[in-house]
Amino acid sequence: MYEYKVIPAPAKGKKKRGVKGAEARFAHALETAMNELAADGWEFQRADILPSEERQGLTSTQTIYRSVLVFRRLTEADALEALVEARADEEDVHEAHENETERDEPVDEVDTSEDVVETDEPEIEKA
């Protein structure tokens, strides 16, 4: 099972030495947010624009569209289970490889250079 995290997309760029222009600064801000969450095990899924109704004045509302980033990761229990399964699979592969290399008897090769057909009929000599 997965758990999800939704964060607001950056609204403006982030300054960094060597990053010039509004578009590049915005990309840098987005990259920084994604890398920070990835370091905590969150996998980026998608960016969405979703409607949000907000109050305007005392009696009315308006719809505002918000940009969000959606991330997911395995829950702790499922992540632990996946790790245990991966280690078991790795041990099985390692054990199978060891068994394969420990064979004492070489495999007999079949000679297919001459096709000999055996029959119960007696051979007839040609004169």
pTM value surpassing 0.75: no
Q: Specify the pLDDT at position 33.
A: 94
95, pLDDT greater than 60: yes
Q: Domain residues of the chain, as ranges?
A: 2-73
Listed as own residue / partner, the contacts of 31-37 with beta carbons closer than 8 Å and 24 or more positions apart are 33/7, 33/9, 33/69, 34/69, 37/5, 37/7, 37/71
66 has pLDDT over 90:
yes
- Tell which wins on pLDDT, 53 or 89: 53
Amino acid identity of residue 76, one-letter, is E
Cβ neighbour number for residue 69 with a 10 Å cutoff: 20
Residues 6+ apart with CB under 8 A from 111: none
Mean pLDDT calculated for residue range 76-83: 81
- Render pLDDT for 12-53 as a digit per residue (tens, 0 to 9): 888 889 989 989 999 999 999 999 999 999 999 999 999 999
What tokens appear for 127 in the block?
């004169």
